[in-house]
């Protein structure tokens, strides 16, 4: 048992014992599940005599979370031992993850689904704490609605959310992303060929990237109309420069010896580009693709604040927040977060397949 685990175990047991003692003054039949969890929590102190499997901590964390969730609303007002039980459940979750990661550490790369369990436990604890804190603490919904309410809103408005997703993500983000990254890539290759373009276009790209998005978006609406093309244009402006700069840097990433080698074969410009410089630029290009995947989504959503047809994620957020429908705003945020993460994840997977040879990938 490491020092941290020792300390955590002690604190967890102590919190459980204190909460149990406080709960004994209430009538026996109220919050029975909560009391059972606290009693088991105190019993877990037996680990100092008898080793307990890490799964016991996992089960206790789960039981604690369930007990606390079910007991919301049983008491008015919420007694202190309820909050202490929440803390105890969270501590059990922490202890579980701590022990799990120590067990997995030497073989973190090939443990099947177990490695995934750690972020899942982490995410679940945040959701449980959020849910309990907002509901049992009577937090106004305008400030922060509980996750269950956001989820209810998502399931109730699937058609609206999908229409917004289609408008903002499938049209503005994806099209703008492909065009912006493609343009950045092509211009980078042109710049690389010509010193004239390098001194002319690179500062211009720098200038464009410095334009504030809130200033550019209304102008794009004037130019390209209310529908998605104006949003795609904003996305192009946002994604172009990171791609340009990274590709230019990547094209110079091959070493002098590697380029001399090509020269000894009397290889032409395009042969050197295809067989050496582009593969060597791969890690840089994928960096830009990853940065741009999140930039594109932000750009498209913000651009919709400045004039749009009555559909789109940015449109929905700006109107629903005005109508105090905060749960709908959160539902859109959740959709954007999931879409953005999946987008990023897909690019990371492609990156791993393409630049498998790079030390940063093959070491992982």
Residues that bind another protein (CB under 8 A): 255, 257-258, 260-267, 271, 275-276, 279, 282, 355-359, 362
Distance in Å, CB of 353 to another protein, minimum: 12
Distances in whole angstroms, Cα of residue 312 to Cα of each of 155, 160, 348: 18, 9, 27
Check if the beta carbon of residue 225 is closer than 8 Å to that of residue 232: no
d(CA 233, CA 237): 6
Residue 105 or 257 having the CB closest to another protein: 257
User: Which tokens in the block code for residue 70?
Assistant: 């079910």
Smallest separation, CB 231 to another protein (Å) = 37
State how far the Cα of 345 lies from the Cα of 115, in Å rounded to an integer: 16
Least CB distance to another protein at residue 244 (A): 23
Token reading at 40: 């088991």
Cβ 361 to another protein, closest distance in Å? 11
* Nearer to another protein (CB atom), residue 191 or residue 262: 262
| Separation of alpha carbons 28 and 360, rounded Å | 58
Residue with tokens 């509980």: 146
- Whole-number minimum distance, CB 363 to another protein, in Å? 10
CB of 256 to another protein, least distance (A): 10
- Locate all alpha helices (DSSP H) within the chain, ordered by sequence: 3-23, 32-43, 54-70, 80-104, 114-136, 147-156, 158-165, 174-193, 195-210, 213-224, 228-251, 256-264, 269-272, 278-303, 313-322, 326-354, 359-362
Q: Outline where 157-268 has alpha helix (H).
A: 158-165, 174-193, 195-210, 213-224, 228-251, 256-264
Structure-token match 């099947």, residue found: 112
Query: From the CB of 283, what's the least distance to another protein, in Å?
Result: 11
Nearer Cβ to another protein (103/252): 252
Q: Which of 143, 257 has the CB closer to another protein?
A: 257
Distance of CA 257 to the CA centre of its chain: 40
Which residue, 12 or 272, has its beta carbon nearer to another protein?
272
* Shorter beta-carbon distance to another protein: residue 51 or 359: 359
Q: How far is the CB of 273 from another protein (least distance, A)?
A: 12
Q: Which is nearer to another protein, 63 or 361 (CB)?
A: 361
**Helical pair 195-210 and 228-251, crossing angle rounded to 10 deg:** 130
The nearer residue to another protein, 7 or 356, going by C-beta atoms, is 356
């Amino acid at each position: 048992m490491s020092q941290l685990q020792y300390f955590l175990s002690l604190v967890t047991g102590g919190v459980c014992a204190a909460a149990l003692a406080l709960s004994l003054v209430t009538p026996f039949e109220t919050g029975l599940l909560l009391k059972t969890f606290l009693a088991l929590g105190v019993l877990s102190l037996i680990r100092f005599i008898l080793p307990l499997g890490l799964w016991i901590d996992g089960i206790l964390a789960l039981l604690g979370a369930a007990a606390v969730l079910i007991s919301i609303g049983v008491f008015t007002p919420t007694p202190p031992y309820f909050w202490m039980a929440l803390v105890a459940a969270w501590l059990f979750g922490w202890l579980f993850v701590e022990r799990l990661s120590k067990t997995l550490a030497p073989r973190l790369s090939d443990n099947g689904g177990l490695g995934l369990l750690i972020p899942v436990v982490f995410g679940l604890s945040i959701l449980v704490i959020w849910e309990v804190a907002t509901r049992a603490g009577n937090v106004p919904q305008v400030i922060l609605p509980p996750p269950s309410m956001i989820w209810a809103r998502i399931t109730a408005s699937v058609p609206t959310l999908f229409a917004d997703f289609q408008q903002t993500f499938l049209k503005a983000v994806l099209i703008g992303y492909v065009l912006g990254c493609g343009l950045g890539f092509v211009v980078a290759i042109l710049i690389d060929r010509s010193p004239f373009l390098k001194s002319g276009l690179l500062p211009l790209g720098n200038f464009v990237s410095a334009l504030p998005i809130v200033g550019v978006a209304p102008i794009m609406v004037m130019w390209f109309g209310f529908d998605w093309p104006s949003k795609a244009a904003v996305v192009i402006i946002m994604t172009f420069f990171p791609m340009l700069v990274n590709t230019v840097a990547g094209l110079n990433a091959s070493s002098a010896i590697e380029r001399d080698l090509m020269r000894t074969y009397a290889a032409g410009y395009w042969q050197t580009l295809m067989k050496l410089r582009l593969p060597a630029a791969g890690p840089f290009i994928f960096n830009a693709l990853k940065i741009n995947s999140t930039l594109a989504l932000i750009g498209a959503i913000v651009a919709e604040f400045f004039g749009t047809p009555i559909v789109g994620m940015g449109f929905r957020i700006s109107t629903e927040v005005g109508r105090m429908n905060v749960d709908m705003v959160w539902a859109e945020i959740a959709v954007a977060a999931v879409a953005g993460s999946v987008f990023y994840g897909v690019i990371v997977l492609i990156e791993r397949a393409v630049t498998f040879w790079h030390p940063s990938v093959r070491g992982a």
